[in-house]
Amino acid sequence: MSGTIGVLFVCLGNICRSPLAEGVLRELATRERVAARLDVDSAGTSAFHTGDSPDPRTLEVALRRGVRLEHAARQVTEIDLRRFDYIIAMDANNLEKIERLAEYAGGGAEVHLLREFDETAVGARDVPDPYFGGERGFEDVHDMVERACEGLLRHIREQRDF
Ligand code: 4NP
């Protein structure tokens, strides 16, 4: 990964929110012609869906908005904590689990909640879990993830000067 900046998105199942954020950030970086600078991946705090493709509802909404997702779900590991430069959690639960893992895994990653990078998310900190909800939830999650990923990419580019 030398020369690239590692960004890992983390949610619970790694089939809805974090693979979406992975695809959206990659798409934004491609449009800004900086994709080669980034190594983007996603993982879940659980192993519930290990090996699964993203949820069909996530895939469908993303595709309609021009983002193709290709990912096999996996659980976050201690190695991830040392390998990635930015670890971005979707909600407070995921954040807590990452922080607990970081206590003994070490590593120097910056750990954030994704919505810290959404200027319109006043008071709202979590990307809500859409898994048990309806279609509208997936549309809303896509909007949130898109806005926040724009802010995140801006943050990384400013911090890393590219
Ligand atoms: P995600 O959504 O964390 O955004 O991938 C979920 C997917 C599956 C489950 C929960 C959340 N589940 O309980 O199986």
DSSP of 42-105: EEESS-TTTTPPPPHHHHHHHHHTT--------B--HHHHHH-SEEEESSHHHHHHHHHHHHHH
State whether the beta carbon of 16 lies less than 6 angstroms from ligand 1. yes
Taking every pair of Cα atoms in the chain, the longest distance, rounded to a whole number of angstroms, is 41
Across the chain, how many H-helices and E-strands are there? 5, 4
State whether the beta carbon of 17 lies less than 6 angstroms from ligand 1. yes
Return the ligand 1 atom nearest residue 48 CA.
Answer: 14
CA triplet 118, 114, 29: central angle to 5 degrees? 80
Which pLDDT score, from 0 to 100, does residue 2 have?
55
State whether the beta carbon of 129 lies less than 6 angstroms from ligand 1. yes
**Which of 11, 76, 98 is the best mutation target for the ligand 1 pocket, counting ligand atoms within 8 Å of the beta carbon and taking the most?**
11
Which pLDDT score, from 0 to 100, does residue 3 have?
86
The sheet with strand 5-11 has its strands ordered as 38-44, 5-11, 86-89, 110-113
pTM: 0.97
- 11 as an active site residue: the answer is yes
Q: How far apart are CA 5 and CA 152, in angstroms?
A: 13
Specify the 3-state DSSP secondary structure of 133: coil
Q: Looking at 16, 17, 80, 115, which residue is catalytic? A: 17
Return the ligand 1 atom nearest residue 12 CA.
Answer: 3
Residue 14, CB-side half-sphere exposure with 13 Å CA sphere? 23
Closest residue (by CA) to atom 12 of ligand 1? 13
Q: How far apart are CA 43 and CA 107, in angstroms?
A: 17
Q: What string of pLDDT tens digits covers the 162 residues of the chain?
A: 458 999 999 999 999 999 999 999 999 999 999 999 999 999 999 999 999 999 999 999 999 999 999 999 999 999 999 999 999 999 999 999 999 999 989 889 999 999 999 999 988 899 999 999 887 899 999 999 999 999 999 999 999 999
Q: Looking at 80, 115, 129, 149, which residue is catalytic? A: 129
Cβ neighbours, 10 Å, residue 81: 22
Which pLDDT score, from 0 to 100, does residue 1 have?
44
- 129 as an active site residue: the answer is yes
R_g (Cα) of the chain, nearest Å: 14
